[in-house]
Amino acid sequence: MKLLFDENLSPRLIASLADVFSASAHVDRIGLGGASDTDVWEYARQQGYTLVSKDSDFHEKSLLHGYPPKVVWIKCGNCTNKQIELILRNKAAHIKSLLNDPDVAYLILI
């Protein structure tokens, strides 16, 4: 599964989740740190990524524009990197279902 982590998530998640989401990237590591949401959205769309963020911005974009890209919104407030890692690991099957379902544009993880 090819995920693109927004800058509000730690780049360390790429390594810690490599066994589950091996084709993932972080916006900072691909030269999009500080880029606009529109630029990140377009990059994800063109490169086939699913966006992962703790902000509602990409979820709102998906409501307006549909997909691609699909969006995973981690709606957990202040949580540690380890907690985010566990959320994504525990919901990997749900994320895979999102990617395979042509009728669903986003997934909210709480």
How is residue 75 written in tokens? Answer: 């709606």
How many distinct structural domains can be found in the chain? 1
Q: How confident is the model at residue 26 (pLDDT cuts 50, 70, 90)?
A: very high
Share of the chain above pLDDT 90, in %: 95
Q: Is the peptide bond before 69 cis (omega within 30 degrees of 0)?
A: yes
List pLDDT tens digits, range 41-89.
Answer: 999 999 999 999 999 999 999 999 999 999 999 998 889 999 999 999 9
Please give the model's pTM, rounded to 2 decimal places.
0.95
Query: What is the model's pLDDT at position 1?
Result: 85
The domain containing residue 93 runs over which residues? 3-109
Amino acid identity of residue 28, one-letter, is: D
Contact 27, 33 (CB under 8 A): yes
**Distinct helix (H) and strand (E) counts, the chain:** 5, 5
**C-alpha–C-alpha distance, residues 106 and 69, integer Å:** 9
Sheet holding 106-109, edge to edge: 25-26, 3-5, 50-53, 71-74, 106-109
How is residue 99 written in tokens? Answer: 């990617």
Q: Is the peptide bond before 68 cis (omega within 30 degrees of 0)?
A: yes
